[in-house]
Amino acid sequence: MASQPSTRSSSSSASTASTATSTATQYLVHFVHRHLDFRKCDFDSSLIAQNLSPSSIYAASNFDMLRPFLICTFPDDETATKVAKSTVLIKHIYKVNSVGETTEDCVAKSKPFTSSPTESWKIVFDTFASKFTKSEQSKIMHQFIDLHKPSGPVKMKDPTTTMSIIHEYPVKISGAPMYPRFDHSGSPIPSNVDRPPLSVYFCSNFAAGGRDLVEKYTLKKRTYLGPTSMDNELSLIMCNAALTRPQSYVLDPFVGTGSILFSASVLGGICVGTDIDTRVLKGKGEGGVMRNFLDCNLPLPEIIRGDNSLHSRLFRSREVYDSIITDPPYGIRAGARKSGTTEDRRKPIPDEHRHDHIPQTQVYPVGDVMADLLTVAARGLKVGGRLVYLIPSLKDFEEGDLPTHECLELEWVCYQPLGLLLGRRMVVMKKVKGWVEEKEEEWKEKCWPNGKESADKVEKLREQMAEAAKKERAEGEKQGWGGKLHKTKKQRKKEMRNEVELKKFTD
């Protein structure tokens, strides 16, 4: 299997620390604690876009999906800065001064962090999955200051050197802290040996990630939105996974309100979009798909009212796109329709409407939507180009259920949970083989290796979700908590409070 699921094994702090002791400059990558299963794909895609092989930058065994810190080596500062800027899920890249398993270890290994009496400096304190009181922070900071006695002035605003002390604590598989640091009343639980950090880092602030784009182009600031508009962070992640860069040709065959092409355009892509529904393309007086591009002075995409099942009739061009990035219609938020009618008698088109006639549409089964999408990708992408799409799924959906095409190789499958049972996957495929027109039907027939059953899992998602909720309620009633989700959450909170109380008692 070519997909690269994120490593879930816990790489020990020792292995991370040992990487930091080699002589090359070490950088510490700090990911945001979101979209955990997408972080590796996002980082690796940025590395590949800079012509770097991920294995030359970090040891895959050191990557842990549950840890937001990763020690890397970049060829130089400029490359590290460029990579940081082009990612979506990196907050910051630091230059490592020392890494330890405890504060004392980190202090002992640290080196002087200023080099002249004129160099201004400050130290900031950061923690992951824990909190430190002001006095605890100050004590730790002074251990570094007392050891190195920097002679330059302290400057809180724009100092020459900003150092960060970061304490990283483990989290549970849910992403919640393993050891709550404060009880429900907000009082700190005294530290004890049962709460060891995973790593303590002492590093200088170096390069910011590309998070500014997430905030700058948030959906909240857009004039034209619809129920299908995709959040800006995820569409930027998709565009990065598709290796979108300035002058890339990007197609979204299910463009809707244009949110994916908007992000592609922000990254410099030249965009083309099609959608079967003129109402969503034109909007209701807000200016339609083009509005947000105009508002933000972005190059306007080519938008065509078109049916994806007839893509080859709409476009003669072959192997022209660098990427196809899309959120296909699965009938959950937006129904899939295709041209044609199931009625026996077609209505004649009056002459006066020939110029603006829109053909009748009929239901477009999910199995066909996906088979057509992969065909469009195999035909439209350049060899080496990428198809990135989202597919909603319940827990029983497996990677073997994904549609396949002989010209496309699976690169990544990243899972985003959207509840206890429902989630969606971002699938990245790379075109590895040239398009052969005569093979279209033969390839299409092999689209679902597990048969129609896999397509049904997506097609019947709505019914399955209702079924799953019913089952959950019944199970809950059996166990006596009423089966409602908010009750289980309440229960969990109560359990957590008890856990904290128990810890207080045992400390």
Where does this chain bind ligand SAM (CB under 6 A)? 226, 228-230, 253-254, 256-260, 274-277, 280, 307-309, 327, 329, 333-334, 336-338, 364
Query: Smaller CB distance to ligand SAM: residue 13 or 257?
Result: 257
Q: Is the distance from CB of 32 to CB of 68 less than 8 angstroms?
A: yes
The CB-of-373 to ligand SAM minimum distance in angstroms stands at 10
Nearer to ligand SAM, 164 or 229 (CB): 229
Q: How far is the CB of 127 from ligand SAM (least distance, A)?
A: 37
- Name which of 131 and 333 has its Cβ closer to ligand SAM: 333
Minimum Å distance from CB 283 to ligand SAM?
A: 11
Rank residues 47 and 334 by Cβ distance to ligand SAM and give the closer one: 334
Least distance from C-beta 332 to ligand SAM, angstroms?
Answer: 8
**Token pair in block for residue 165:** 């002390």
- Shortest spacing between CB 434 and ligand SAM, in angstroms: 25
- Please tell me the number of Cα atoms within 13 Å of 115 on its side-chain side: 1
Task: Indicate the angle between helix axes 232-241 and 39-49, nearest 10 degrees.
Answer: 50
Taking the complex as a whole, how short is the minimal distance between the CB of residue 414 and ligand SAM, in angstroms? 17
Element (H, E) at 477: helix 461-479
Q: Is 448 helix (H, G, I), strand (E, B) or coil?
A: coil
- In angstroms, give the least distance from the CB of 343 to ligand SAM: 18
Cβ closest to ligand SAM, residue 150 vs residue 256: 256
What distance in Å separates the CA atoms of residue 70 and residue 59, rounded to the nearest whole number?
Answer: 9
Q: Strand, helix or coil at 174?
A: coil
- 200 vs 334, beta carbon nearer ligand SAM: 334
Nearer to ligand SAM, 309 or 454 (CB): 309
Distance of CA 244 to the CA centre of its chain: 15
Alpha carbons 89 and 109: distance in angstroms, whole number:
29
Q: How far apart are CA 39 and CA 29, in angstroms?
A: 11
Please classify residue 382 by burial: count the beta carbons closer than 10 Å to its beta carbon, then call 0-12 exposed, 13-18 middle and 19+ buried. Answer: middle
Distance between CA 447 and CA 442 in Å, rounded? 9
Q: Return the H-helix or E-strand segment holding 504.
A: helix 485-506
Task: DSSP for 5-60, please give it.
Answer: PPP-S---HHHHHHHTTSSSPPEEEEE-SSSGGGHHHHHHHHHHHTT--HHHHS-G
Minimum distance, C-beta of residue 416 to ligand SAM, in the bound complex (Å): 15
Tell the smallest beta-carbon distance from residue 335 to ligand SAM (Å). Answer: 7
Q: Is the Cβ of residue 332 or residue 421 nearer to ligand SAM in the bound state?
A: 332
Distance CA 409, CA 502 (A): 51
By beta-carbon proximity to ligand SAM, the closer residue of 198 and 276 is 276
Pairing of strands 90-100, 121-128: unpaired
* Choice between 130 and 308, CB closer to ligand SAM: 308
The two beta strands, 361-363 and 408-417, are: unpaired
Pick between residue 100 and residue 258 the one whose CB is nearest to ligand SAM. 258
Least distance (Å) from ligand SAM to the CB of residue 60? 32
CB 443 within 8 A of CB 405: yes
Please compute Rg for the chain using Cα positions.
26
Burial of 386 (0-12, 13-18, 19+ CB in 10 A): buried
Using H for helix, E for strand and C for coil, what is the string for 114-136? CCCCCCCEEEEEEEECCCCCHHH
CB of 409 to ligand SAM, least distance (A): 24
Question: Cβ(488)–Cβ(476) under 8 Å?
Answer: yes
Nearer to ligand SAM, 22 or 278 (CB): 278
- Name the DSSP letter for residue 298: P
Find the residue with minimal CB distance to ligand SAM.
256
CB of 235 to ligand SAM, least distance (A): 7
SS3 call for 62: helix
